[in-house]
Amino acid sequence: MANTVSVKWYGTNALEFRHSRGSFMIDPYVSRNREKLHIPSEVEKYITTEPDFVLMTHAHWDHLPDMPMILAKCKAVLYASKTACLMMKALGVPAEQLYEVSYGEVLELPGNVKVTVIESRHMGIEGVPEGYDTMPSAESLEKVDGWRCGETLAFLIEVDGQKILNIGTANMLEETMNGVECDHLFCGISRWKDGFPEMLMRNIKFRQLIPTHHDEFKLPLDQFYLRNDLQRLAEVIPDLKSFEVPVLEWTELPQ
C-alpha cells in the first residue's frame, strides 16, 4: 500500500523505519554487551539493510558502539550530538558521515523525511549530561565508562504524512516538549521513575505510545525478553493508548 510506514524494533531504542521513498534508523545497537561493547558478528547477523541516514538520541554504550561498523557498511550519515560525533571521529568514522545537530534544527533528509531536533534529558541526569568537548582517545572507548551520554536529543519525524516522535529515555525537558503533537510516540520507558507518567501526559499529545528500551538489554537478542515497565505504566495511566511492536519483525504503523 502506498504511503505506509513500517517499523522494525531491535530491542533497546534501536529502530528501523521503512517508508515509500527509503528507510532510516534510530540508535541501532545490537551487540548488547557491557564488556565487549561491539560484537561484529551480531551486527552482521541483525543489521542487514542499508538505511539512508541514522539518528542518535545520545551516546551511551547501549546506543552508539555499533555505529562505526554500520556506517562503514552503508555509507549513510549519522545525525547526532557533539559528544557522539567526537566519539565516532575517535573511532575513525569519516567526517563526511557525521553531522553535528543543534537543538531546534529542522533537517530535510533523504527520502523527503523532515526531522526536528528537540533538546531532551536522560533519566536520572540533571541538567546537561557529561559529554566531550574534545575528541577522546580510542582507548578510552574500550570501556563502558568512556561512552558518555552527552547532549540528549529527541526527534520529531515527519514522513509519508505521519508524525513520529522518538524519545530514547524515560525523561524529557518539559519546556521543549510541551505541546508537541505526534501520531506515534516511540518512548524509552526503561525503569521509569515516579513523576514520569504525569510529565509525559501533560506535555505530549499522541495517538499511541509505542514503548522501547523496556527489554533486558544486557542480554543478546537471541535471549530477548521484556521487563514489566509497560505494565507499570499502564497501571498509573489506565487509559493509556499503547501499541507494542514485536522484536525483529516488520510492523506497519496504523494511519
- Tell me if 49 sits within 8 A of 23, measured CB to CB: yes
Domain ranges (residues) in the chain: 6-252
Q: Calculate the dihedral angle through the C-alpha atoms of 79, 81, 87, 89, rounding to the nearest 10 degrees.
A: 50
| pLDDT exceeds cutoff 60 at 224 | yes
Beta strands 77-80 and 98-100, pairing class: parallel
Locate all alpha helices (DSSP H) within 47-179, ordered by sequence.
Answer: 67-74, 82-90, 174-177
| pLDDT exceeds cutoff 80 at 212 | yes
Nearest Cα to 125, choosing from 158, 74, 168? 168
Q: Residue 125 — very low, low, confident or very high, per pLDDT cuts 50/70/90? A: low
161's grid cell: 504524512
Tell the residue number behind the cell numbers 539512508, with chain if given: 52
Query: Per-residue pLDDT tens for 10-45?
Result: 999 999 999 999 999 999 999 999 999 999 999 999
Query: Per-residue pLDDT tens for 174-194?
Result: 999 999 999 999 999 999 999
106's grid cell: 529542522
Q: Residue 124 — very low, low, confident or very high, per pLDDT cuts 50/70/90? A: confident
3-state SS assignment for residue 212: strand
Q: Residue 255 — very low, low, confident or very high, per pLDDT cuts 50/70/90? A: confident
pLDDT for the residue 3: 75
> Over the chain, what is the mean pLDDT?
96
Is domain 6-252 given the CATH code 3.60.15.10 in the classification? yes
- Tell me if 170 sits within 8 A of 123, measured CB to CB: yes
| pLDDT exceeds cutoff 80 at 2 | no
Q: Residue 127 — very low, low, confident or very high, per pLDDT cuts 50/70/90? A: low
Q: Please tell me the distance from the alpha carbon of residue 209 to that of residue 175, in angstroms, as a whole number.
A: 20
| pLDDT exceeds cutoff 50 at 1 | no
Q: Please tell me the distance from the alpha carbon of residue 182 to that of residue 203, in angstroms, as a whole number.
A: 12
